[in-house]
Amino acid sequence: MIESPGEAKEGTPHLARTAGILYLVIILLGLFSEVFVRSGLVVQGDPAATARNLSDSEFLFRLGFVGDLIVFLCDVVVAVLLYVLLRPVNKTVSMVTAALRLTGTAIYGVNLLNHFAALLLLDGREYLGVFHPGQLQALALFFLDLHGHGYDLGLVFFGFHCLGLGYLFLKSNLFPRSLGILMILAFIGYIVGSGTLFLFPGAAELVAPVYLGPLVGETALCLWLIFRGGRGHQ
């Protein structure tokens, strides 16, 4: 059921701007942790090189952990704010959409343990002396690989969240239809990317560019919420 008359009251500029600012934090810190930290330190297929990088840049790696933690905390707030903004459009779809985002965020949060496990394996703890250094390095890289798979698992839920947003934006008189289309494209990008990793892992790198679509869509949504949100559109 669509409840358009109340949208302007619920979708206040204040709530939209807050969601947009938090979304900007999510995007910037997410890129920092994934692109600048992990992509710069983790050498796929080379446990020894990865271990050296983590030892030489341990604090940076820990900052990546903290950056992700802040991202997921912001994600919880954004999920609630978007629910409040979109509830007048369709309460049930808005609730399911928020639940999907929160489920993905819960997966990301637990998955952070795999990120931190790499440090625990390499920090020289006495009880790990039963393992050879090469074994510890291989285990550290394994947990980082597991972290990557866990992140993609969460993106499946987040992708369907984007589909829900796309539907709600297309039905709303507060959000431009272009954002709805971009969110549906983001859904396709996330599902193609994660689906390929789990079903056809050898082709995962080939489809990596599909993540540019979600980045464009989420950045557009972020900027619209900050500068135009809650005021309707022409």
Q: What is the pLDDT of residues 144-176, one digit of tens each?
A: 999 999 999 999 999 999 999 999 999 998 899
The reported pLDDT for the residue numbered 173 is 87
Residue 232 resides in a domain = no
pLDDT-based confidence at residue 13 (cuts at 50, 70, 90) = confident
Residue 205 resides in a domain = yes
* Predicted confidence (pLDDT) at residue 10 exceeds the cutoff of 50: no
The reported pLDDT for the residue numbered 70 is 98
As a whole-number percent, the residues of the chain with pLDDT over 70 amount to 93
As a whole-number percent, the residues of the chain with pLDDT over 90 amount to 85
The reported pLDDT for the residue numbered 3 is 44
Residue 234 resides in a domain = no
The reported pLDDT for the residue numbered 230 is 58
* Predicted confidence (pLDDT) at residue 223 exceeds the cutoff of 90: yes
Average pLDDT over residues 123-134: 87
Half-sphere exposure of 204 (CA within 13 A, CB side): 11
pLDDT-based confidence at residue 9 (cuts at 50, 70, 90) = low
Instruction: Report the alpha-carbon distance of residue 191 to residue 157 in Å, rounded.
Output: 9
The reported pLDDT for the residue numbered 233 is 52
Instruction: Write down the pTM of the prediction.
Output: 0.89
Looking at the structure of the chain, the number of domains it has is 1
Residue 47 resides in a domain = yes
The one-letter amino acid at 200: F
| Mean pLDDT for all residues in the chain | 91
- Domain of 15? 4-227
Residue 48 sits at φ, ψ, to 5 deg, of -65, -45
Residue 43 resides in a domain = yes
Contact indicator for 101, 161 with CB cutoff of 8 Å: yes
* Predicted confidence (pLDDT) at residue 1 exceeds the cutoff of 60: no
pLDDT-based confidence at residue 4 (cuts at 50, 70, 90) = very low
Residue pLDDT, tens place only, 72-121: 999 999 999 999 999 999 999 999 999 999 999 999 999 999 999 999 99
Residue 39 sits at φ, ψ, to 5 deg, of -65, -30
The reported pLDDT for the residue numbered 124 is 78
Residue 118 resides in a domain = yes
Number of other residues whose CB lies within 10 A of the CB of residue 94: 21
The reported pLDDT for the residue numbered 231 is 64
Q: Which tokens go with 107?
A: 């997966």
Residue 217 resides in a domain = yes
Higher-confidence position of 119 and 232 = 119
The contacts found for 128-135 with CB under 8 angstroms, 24 or more apart, are: 134/47, 134/48
* Predicted confidence (pLDDT) at residue 2 exceeds the cutoff of 80: no
Residue 196 resides in a domain = yes
